[in-house]
Amino acid sequence: MAFEHLSIFPMHLVISRDGRIFSAGRTISKMIGDQKFFQHVFGIDSGIELFNAGDFDAERLSGPSICVRSLMFNDLCLQGSSSRSGNFYILNFGFGMGLRTAVERLNLVRGDFAPSDPSLDFLLIGEAMRAATAEINHLADRVDTARISAEKHAVTDPLTGILNRRGFELEMARAIRRFGTSPFSLFQLDVDDFKQINDAHGHLFGDLCLRHVADVLRVNLGEKGVCGRVGGDEFSALVFGNFTLDQLGRLKEKILLAISSPLYSQKSKVHISACIGYWRANDLVNLDAASLWHAADLALYSEKK
């Protein structure tokens, strides 16, 4: 029996009742290689039933809907239908949901599909959609990164890298909201005679002094606080925790001692100093930002006298 007319079906098989393969389409031939029997290449259903040439019966494949799995490419399932013609069984398959895997595993191209089969076109459309989605996600990530960077710059002092006034006020508002479960204190710091330092040593050295103060605050507060530059030579810090006045006083002295370590301007050694005033939030009868700023400012002015 001649099967040339079936060549237009690249996924067809013609087998005898005992499973011998008499004809195979050009595409399914990539799966079966030089195997001569159906049962040496495919298992029926997801259980991958195995058959010997002696007990295989193609009658089990008859019907409008069959599913087989490749024994050589066990991640490939084929779906199709079969019909009987005399002593032969004609099967025609498609890759179904496994199309993308089949294209990758078998290196399939457009010519491996029947002209009337739109499967590869759908696959290419799907690939294009996935590529477009990936690009959209990439752009969204870039937008998010830019937004996060812009938000960070909006609350960061560009000279010192610590919070600016807006950023510090946001942190203070957050601390006040959590005050019931997380007590804190406010430190206010001014650099002594900063204008004279700028006039005597130049603005570059003045900038060095401000970065030095910011670094001292950042290091000494660690994870127990946040700090910000809220004015030209004015700094503020939130110290989280239920500290006593003595503990806060020791922290203040530690910060002032670190600030006084020498800096160098054109080979000359310069010592700077600062004043710190502080106030505990729980020492206010009615806690709000304005009252706490005012109380800490009064403590700072008292230190300056």
Q: What is the CATH number of the domain that holds 283?
A: 3.30.70.270
Residue 267 has a pLDDT of 67
Q: Is the domain of 21 the same as that of 39? A: yes
Q: Is the domain of 179 the same as that of 299? A: yes
Query: Contact 39/109 with Cβ under 8 angstroms?
Result: no
The total number of structural domains in the chain stands at: 3
Q: Is the domain of 210 the same as that of 288? A: yes
Q: Is the domain of 223 the same as that of 246? A: yes
Model pTM score: 0.56
Supply the range of the domain harboring residue 147: 118-154
Q: Is the domain of 11 the same as that of 98? A: yes
Q: Is the domain of 149 the same as that of 57? A: no
Q: Is the domain of 110 the same as that of 129? A: no
Q: Is the domain of 176 the same as that of 235? A: yes
Q: Is the domain of 198 the same as that of 122? A: no
Looking at the domain assignment, is residue 79 inside a domain? Answer: yes
Looking at the domain assignment, is residue 160 inside a domain? Answer: no
Joined together, the tokens standing for residue 182 give 């997380």
Residue that is written with structure tokens 């779906």 in the block: 79
Return per-residue pLDDT of the chain as tens, 305 residues.
Answer: 567 778 888 999 999 888 899 999 999 999 888 899 998 888 876 444 445 445 677 777 777 788 888 888 877 888 888 888 888 999 999 888 888 888 888 888 878 888 777 776 776 776 778 788 888 888 888 887 777 777 777 899 999 999 999 999 999 999 999 988 889 999 999 999 999 998 888 999 999 999 999 999 999 999 999 999 999 999 999 999 999 999 999 999 999 999 999 998 876 888 999 999 999 999 998 899 999 999 999 999 998 87
Residue 46 has a pLDDT of 44
Looking at the domain assignment, is residue 159 inside a domain? Answer: no
Residue 39: count other Cβ atoms within 10 Å of its Cβ.
Answer: 22
Q: Is the domain of 203 the same as that of 228? A: yes
Residue 52 has a pLDDT of 46
Q: What is the CATH number of the domain that holds 38?
A: 3.30.450.260
